[in-house]
Amino acid sequence: MKFVCMKCETYMNFEKVEKPGEGSLGVFFGCPSCGARFTMVTNPGETQMVSSLGVQLGGRAAPAEAFEMTRGGLRADGAGQADMANYLTEHYSDTQASTAPTGEGEPEKKSGGCPFSAVVAQMGLGSSTETRADTSEFEWTADALDRLEKTPSFVRPMIKGGIEAYARKQGFKKINLQVMDDSKNVPAGIPWSPAAEKRLENIPDFIRPMARKEIERIAQERGAAQITEAIMEEAKTKFVNFM
Amino acid sequence: MPQDLKGILGRLKYTDDAHVVEQITEHMKAVKSRMARVRRKLVVMSGKGGVGKSMTTVNLALAFARQGDRVGVLDVDLNGPCVPKMLGMRGQRFEMTPEGAMPPIGPLGIKVGSMDFFLNESAPVQWKGPMDLSPVWLGLTEMNVIREFIADIVWGELDYLLTDLPPGAAADKPPVIAGFIPELDGAIMVTTPSEMASDVVQKSIAYARDLGIKVLGMVENMSRYRCPHCGIESDLFEGDTEMMCQALDLPLLGRIPFDPALARSFDKGLPLLDVDSSIVKRYDEIVTRVKSLLDYKKIMARQL
């Protein structure tokens, strides 16, 4: 925070900090040009905000000790809480709170419950059960539907869409457990040469899917029609260069 | 004639004469310098409370330590720290030195930092300051306390630092805390197979990814219930974490069944160290997978 002396059109200099009372700081500033001085006095909330930064206004004479703020900020008992309550009672009455501006002249808008409900509904993130297969162009078997219903609601539309896209591509009308399983293993768009496939087996099982994806991405960038040993070599070089 | 403040400010040169910016910059430098000696920095998060983040953090730390790594655990759940209790370290304290706070050392040499080391037994965290205005300052205080936990603890050289984040999702603290840690290697998400947990965890993943935090994978906790009498495992929740992981393009790092004996043992501060235990083996497998993911590029360069 800085203050400007409007008379001299210059920043005022920070001079010192004093503590005029419990929960308050007086921060002194002076104009280097005309010598005008003033003090900003903080209320307890502002004082606490400054101390929450873990800094000392004006700079430190000695380096901070370990956990200085944590140790200094922890309260051993319940003392000290009444100060702010008294402050608020004294300075902010109920009248002030109840006469807060409400947009005079504007008709009061009727509350419609949650202010975000319309947005949520628009995004299709509500708690509806629209993902059930009864709205689908496909016939879902009962066991397939049961499995779908067990997936978390937020990913269900994505999963359902993926399975149906696979079924559509394959020309299926009915979705059963087998179709669901098969849809997980849809082959990638770019074919792999047997030698490249064999070479991928050098990568441990757990990270092989990531590796496959990364290599296919490189091939796509190159516009390659097939994953060949040359593409594999390029991928290897890329990872060697990362190290 | 009214003066043009914008014009005046345009002609002035800003000076940090209260030394506030300078001190905040020093804070950040201290964080960076302390973390520079930690090879891999991971956070364990969930978004949903009660899914077993701390249990997962502690067991992963033990698994790393079993594999010979130097491990630290940072418990930044300020208001509900439980890592010290799980590791049988309650009542211990930091040793304050000119270099910083020396962390207590737990089983298998694991160094631990926790708010619990500042508290008396059963005492809640209470900050000085006007609590009736706490919405104004409490968040800022907690973030800076966490900054002290990262910057002021003398971790020394570590292979892995696991940070157990508090619960919370979306635009809440955990992803922001994770953003505090320089060169964070990734986040391990914890969930249960329940739909309720999965819903919240997904929000946390989305928010973490938005902040550029790499989510390494998911641990499914309480995946099943292991009967202490007959050893048979049954479902606790109906859900499909594997399918959720596929949809989110996230590896499922492993599944940990709910085992009452394990829970009781950690409640008593007696961590499970038996290498023949099937649960311990599962945590070992998860850690092996985490290492593969962290060393993905190296493995690709070496083995492809």
Distance CA B8, CA B153 (A): 45
Give A85's contacts in chain B (Cβ within 8 Å). 132
**pLDDT (0 to 100) of residue A127:** 39
- Residue B154 · residue B100 · CB < 8 Å: yes
Least reliable range by pLDDT among A95-99, B70-74, B125-129, B261-265 = A95-99
Q: How far is CA A193 from each of CA A190, A224, B304, rounded to the nearest angstrom? A: 10, 12, 15
In chain A, whose CA is at the least distance from the CA of B128? A75
pLDDT tens digits, one per residue of B36-53: 999 999 999 887 778 889
Distance of CA B129 to the CA centre of its chain: 27
In chain B, whose CA is at the least distance from the CA of A28? B18
8 Å CB contact of A155 and B202: yes
* Nearest CB to A153 within list B22, B153, B199: B199
Q: How far is B253 from chain A (nearest CA, A)?
A: 9
Query: Is A74 near chain B, with CB under 8 Å?
Result: yes
**pLDDT (0 to 100) of residue B4:** 86
8 Å CB contact of B130 and A83: yes
- Residue B103 · residue B77 · CB < 8 Å: no
In chain B, whose CA is at the least distance from the CA of A180? B243
The pair of structure tokens assigned to A115 is 């202010």
8 Å CB contact of A59 and B297: no
Query: Is A180 near chain B, with CB under 8 Å?
Result: no
Question: Could you tell me which residue, A35 or B204, shows the higher pLDDT?
Answer: A35
* Nearest CB to B140 within list A23, A53, A206: A53
8 Å CB contact of A59 and B23: yes
pLDDT band at B227 (very low <50, low <70, confident <90, very high): confident
Distance CA B144, CA B161 (A): 19
**pLDDT (0 to 100) of residue A125:** 37
8 Å CB contact of B128 and A214: no
Give the DSSP H or E segment for B20: helix B20-35
- Residue B190 · residue B256 · CB < 8 Å: no
Q: Is the pLDDT of residue B172 over 70?
A: no
Count of residues in chain A:
243
Q: How far is CA A5 from each of CA A28, A34, A192, B130, B252, rounded to the nearest angstrom? A: 13, 9, 72, 33, 61
Number of A–B residue contacts, CB under 8 Å: 202
* Nearest CB to B130 within list A72, A74, A84: A84
**pLDDT (0 to 100) of residue B147:** 92
Report A:192-211 residues touching B (Cβ under 8 A). Answer: 199-200, 202-204, 206-207, 209-211
* Nearest CB to A45 within list B100, B130, B144: B130
8 Å CB contact of B96 and A70: no
Query: Is A138 near chain B, with CB under 8 Å?
Result: no
Give A88's contacts in chain B (Cβ within 8 Å). 132
3-state DSSP helix/strand/coil % of chain B, to nearest 5:
45, 20, 35
Q: How far is B65 from chain A (nearest CA, A)?
A: 22
Q: Is the pLDDT of residue B249 over 70?
A: yes
Q: How confident is the model over B249-273, as a mean pLDDT? A: 87
One pLDDT digit (tens) per residue for chain A, 243 residues: 889 999 999 999 999 999 888 788 899 999 999 999 999 998 888 888 888 888 888 888 888 889 988 988 887 643 433 444 454 445 443 434 333 343 444 443 333 333 333 333 433 333 333 444 456 788 999 988 888 887 766 667 777 887 888 888 788 889 998 888 878 766 557 889 999 999 999 988 888 888 888 898 888 888 888 899 999 998 888 888 876
pTM: predicted TM-score of the whole model, two decimal places: 0.74
Average pLDDT, chain B: 87
8 Å CB contact of A239 and B292: no
Q: Quote ipTM for the complex.
A: 0.80
Please report how many Cα atoms fall inside a 13 Å half-sphere around the Cα of residue B246, on the Cβ side.
17
Q: Is the pLDDT of residue B293 over 50?
A: yes
8 Å CB contact of A207 and B299: yes
**pLDDT (0 to 100) of residue A188:** 53
Q: How confident is the model over B190-197, as a mean pLDDT? A: 82
**pLDDT (0 to 100) of residue A83:** 46
Give A52's contacts in chain B (Cβ within 8 Å). 137, 140-141, 144
Q: How far is A173 from chain B (nearest CA, A)?
A: 23
Pairing of strands B186-191, B100-102: unpaired
**pLDDT (0 to 100) of residue A78:** 39
Buried b vs exposed e over A54-85: b needs ≥16 C-beta within 10 Å?
bbbbbeeeeebebbebbeebbeeeeeeeebbe
Least reliable range by pLDDT among B146-160, B198-212, B261-275 = B198-212
Query: Is A82 near chain B, with CB under 8 Å?
Result: no
Query: Is A101 near chain B, with CB under 8 Å?
Result: no
DSSP states of B47-82 as a string? SSTTS-HHHHHHHHHHHHHHTT--EEEEE--TTS--
The Cβ of residue B269 has, within 10 Å, a number of other Cβ atoms equal to 15
Determine which of A67, A89, A210, A218 to mutate to test the interface with B (most B C-beta atoms within 10 Å): A67
**pLDDT (0 to 100) of residue B281:** 93
Give B3's contacts in chain A (Cβ within 8 Å). 6, 9
